[in-house]
Structure 1
């Protein structure tokens, strides 16, 4: 269980560690000044390459886990995740850095195998608790990643006695990647000792040699099992896109300059808001989440979590309008931080339970494959959601006139459509 939690933490850190310095890193590689509008496309490609590989290769990792077992695939993914960040931190050109990031994304598909392993490791009574624990670890990674990436950049500047005239001066972003790689290597060694295979040789052979008619029988178009699986896969992927689009909408609206009657939230202030939200998420996993699951069951609790986020979206314009834009103090952001934290109560309930329901709906033979497709579709939605939210935000702002500035909230309300679909399908 410790190894699985570490894998979840590693994946979250890996995805978020790049955020604080990616703009500066790409500028450094391309010999351009930071903030140059011309590098935005290259920054987007660098950030999106990780999710792209997750989309393409997660199903492959699921199939390999069915054929060769969970343990070797998990260890292989950890080994790759230890090597790729080192190559990334040492990159001297954009092409090399992009190749290293693609390699990192290629190996990140073992997350779906970790969820499969967890579903087979715990019994039905403790499944909701176990996936809730992964949620706590994930929330920890949400703020450990940016802190690790941001504070350890340019070590020769803040600790010249140790790092000046070393490899870290010529590669100012290598230290955070090296420390992360060492962390992954430790988890790999722990996995070699502690991970046991949950799928026997006979099961692996049966999965590989299964007759076509047997496989077809399991996936008949009219079968209840297939309908249930597709419903959960749809809900899961839509929810991933919903959360990513919602976060992007929040960032875009909050960072609007004061000249546009925005809050002008700085990157450091965003970090504080997200840290508070992550703490609320962790608190939810040990208080409201277990109580709700025990009282209402997985399906109902998941639907309640989604409904909570929908209800909280309705007063968004009022929330931002009541925050005093002219006030210089950070206290003006307290209501916004509380709102963002309260949202985590819904997300922190819905996400783990969707993973639980998905594992329950699968047969033992196809569990890793289904989790692979779930991870792939989720990554695709996470990539598309923010792009659509940004386009809607731009459209909404262009429609604003006078003192009534409601167009900027268009993306929030359009985003309620997929949220409502997820809620309805989850409750069925």
Structure 2
């Protein structure tokens, strides 16, 4: 079922003949039943199916690798507005939003133009080479960003980061190839967990180590650090990326089916026999079906789809696959509203109370984001898999609806803090502003449960196992488009609302609430569209025997 409904590679013992497979493995459940029964397996609760054990070591390696991107992306959040103002890129606090939105939006624009190519490249040459190249690029560009004193050097570094980073697509594809429907929610939750951990580590690094000559004068009050006040957090982030790079190069195993076949083609018969024997010792065939995978030998124990399924799908074929337009539209809307919140929350927290913000300092913003990331990590690991297993894709619009409470709550909190504390300098608004900011950031982590749901959506909407990375890349391209538009849109809208006092300064909050409301309405029938797409895919691919035949 996993191969037909989720697009994941169907695991089989490698290089075994058909008669050997019939002897050593139980017969899979055929997919030639009624369309209703086919779709119900992937869109209804999976309580009656025993979860397949996760390949724990490979997931651990992936977690280390996945930490690099969110740290790189979020470590600048606590200080980017301060950086724009202190380095003279913005003439006043009111103009900061325009510049910081430009810096963040250009990352997404570059990612939008390149991520599809990285996904398709990983479908051709393998997952590991693309991951390694992306990590090298991220580490190098972070150092350039930290050293930049000129706005356009900073912009070029962010553009290069976005252009070189296809890591999210590749890791998403690897997780898809390591899991089936019974354990995908738990595995994809780890992807969101690492983003949540990155949202702890990144802002903490950025808030604590930016302007170190002032915040940590005992160690860093030197001319070099005074001249490069934002280098230290970038240097620490680059160190984390080097750790991720070493993990990818030394510990991660290739999961691309065609690459595994090519490797096995060069093995001797004795090596293949030893590999089969070792895999059989770790596979408990009485407890697992074709959808299972041994946790110690996730690559050696898996089989390969026939060569006719190894072809790379064209973008046009993907776009025209059943349900793809609906899935990609929901991906775009989800990313737009969540990215808009992440950006406007930081800008709102930094803005003076008199202008409708919270007047938080860099380190206070970092602590708010770190607290929210800590709570978000618990949500992703302990709560999300249970909820997803029970409700499936029906929870998608419900999670989106959390944002309906967050955007209106922000101006209410600012008014309450101003009414109680009065006008305060940055960092002096008191515990009420910090606790309120933590509460808003926490709600953002609850809304972030939509991200692993989107990973699962992209996996299941995939029209064929060989199109996993290409579909993930299409989703990442759509998401990058939203990430390119949202920062500039929401930052500029916030600045205009404050500067021109539009709707009393509340235009940003009113408009974003209406946009979220429309997004929730559009996603209301996503589960039905996914069920229809899976039904068509199952009918086209036939049953497991047809997919895995010679």
Report what 1:355 is aligned to: 455
As a proportion of its length, which structure holds more helix?
A: 1
Matches within 5 A, 1:376-387: 376-387=477-488
Cα offset, 1:65, TM superposition: 0.5
Report what 1:72 is aligned to: 129
Matches within 5 A, 1:256-335: 258-259=353-354, 262=356, 264-268=358-362, 269-296=364-391, 298-310=392-404, 312=405, 316=409, 319-320=412-413, 323-328=416-421, 329-331=430-432, 334=435
Q: Is the 8 A contact 1:256 1:263 kept in 2?
A: yes
TM-score between both structures, scaled by the size of structure 1:
0.82
Matches within 5 A, 1:29-428: 35=92, 42-91=99-148, 93-157=150-214, 162-163=219-220, 168-201=225-258, 210=311, 219=318, 221=320, 226-250=321-345, 258-259=353-354, 262=356, 264-268=358-362, 269-296=364-391, 298-310=392-404, 312=405, 316=409, 319-320=412-413, 323-328=416-421, 329-331=430-432, 334=435, 337-345=438-446, 347-362=447-462, 363-390=464-491, 394=496, 398-400=501-503, 407=507, 409-428=509-528
Deviates more, 1:286-295 or 1:388-397: 388-397
Cα offset, 1:149, TM superposition: 2.2
Deviates more, 1:45-54 or 1:112-121: 45-54
1:130-159 deviation digits (Å, cap 9, x = unpaired): 111121221121132122123223444555
Q: Is the 8 A contact 1:249 1:412 kept in 2?
A: no
Cα offset, 1:399, TM superposition: 4.9
1:266-317 deviation digits (Å, cap 9, x = unpaired): 2454444433332332221233212212222x2123333224444x359648
* Correspondent of 2:75 among 17, 25, 32: 17
1:164/1:113 CA distance change after superposition, 3 Å: same
Deviates more, 1:242-251 or 1:69-78: 242-251
- Structure 1 Cα separation of the partners of residues 433 and 95 of structure 2: 34
Deviates more, 1:95-104 or 1:154-163: 154-163
Cα offset, 1:236, TM superposition: 1.1
Q: 3-state SS of the aligned residue for 1:227?
A: coil
Q: Is the 8 A contact 2:336 2:485 kept in 1?
A: yes
Q: Is the 8 A contact 1:207 1:365 kept in 2?
A: no
Which runs of 5 or more residues in structure 2 are unaligned?
Answer: 1-58, 263-306, 422-429, 529-550
- Structure 2 Cα separation of the partners of residues 96 and 339 of structure 1: 33
- Structure 1 Cα separation of the partners of residues 193 and 230 of structure 2: 28
1:368/1:219 CA distance change after superposition, 3 Å: closer
Q: 3-state SS of the aligned residue for 1:198?
A: coil
1:212-271 deviation digits (Å, cap 9, x = unpaired): xx86995584xxxx13222211111110001122344555666665556x4634245444
Cα offset, 1:324, TM superposition: 4.9
Which runs of 5 or more residues in structure 1 are unaligned?
Answer: none
Q: How many residues align?
A: 414
1:217/1:149 CA distance change after superposition, 3 Å: closer
Cα offset, 1:372, TM superposition: 1.4
Q: Is the 8 A contact 1:23 1:34 kept in 2?
A: no
Q: Is the 8 A contact 2:126 2:259 kept in 1?
A: no
1:414/1:207 CA distance change after superposition, 3 Å: farther
Choose 1 or 2 for highest CA Rg.
2
Cα offset, 1:381, TM superposition: 0.8
Cα offset, 1:115, TM superposition: 0.8
Q: 3-state SS of the aligned residue for 2:448?
A: helix
Deviates more, 1:283-292 or 1:158-167: 158-167
Q: Is the 8 A contact 1:305 1:350 kept in 2?
A: yes
Deviates more, 1:182-191 or 1:250-259: 250-259
TM-score between both structures, scaled by the size of structure 2:
0.65
1:17/1:181 CA distance change after superposition, 3 Å: same
Cα offset, 1:198, TM superposition: 0.8
Cα offset, 1:89, TM superposition: 2.9
- Structure 2 Cα separation of the partners of residues 92 and 318 of structure 1: 34
1:358/1:86 CA distance change after superposition, 3 Å: same
Deviates more, 1:195-204 or 1:180-189: 195-204
Q: Is the 8 A contact 1:249 1:411 kept in 2?
A: no
